Structure 1
Amino acid sequence: MVDVSQHELVPDHTVLDDADLEGVLEEYNIKKTDLPKIKRLDPALPDEAEVGDVVKIERDSRTTDRAVVYRLVVE
């Protein structure tokens, strides 16, 4: 079976640890539940991602070289 998460067009997905998550939430002055959601069964998610984790997604951007977004993993 093909591992979709390793395809060159799929951006990097990284599960944030608690320290990094606190920094992100403080920087944007939001709660974890205010973040956009991503389903746990999304094939691009790392295997270690669990419901309630926050994932950092880094993708190429025409305007800023690298765009960083955050998603809350949900059921």
Structure 2
Amino acid sequence: MSAEQILKEQIIKKAWEDETFKARLLSDPKGAIKEAFDVDIPEGLELTVVEESAKHYYLIIPQHPAEASAKSSDPSTQVEMW
């Protein structure tokens, strides 16, 4: 399992267990993750957190691999976790 996947699972688990953290994660994701896990999300990266429900499901379409590899030579787009 990748470090990114482990972190995502830790964030979800904490949100399920801690309503205060979940509320902050929904309103200020970068701040909540920094405070709880000491992980800095890069300034140029927008992070949106949404909560699924029984009647509302989100399908995430990842970035196309060709687009990702084209940007990989640009240092401003290289991030470890996100």
TM-score (norm 1): 0.25
Query: Larger RCO: Structure 1 or Structure 2 (Cα < 8 Å, ≥ 6 residues apart)?
Result: 1
Write 1 or 2 for the structure with the bigger share of helix.
2
Relative to its length, the structure with more strand (as a share) is 1
TM-score by length of 2: 0.24
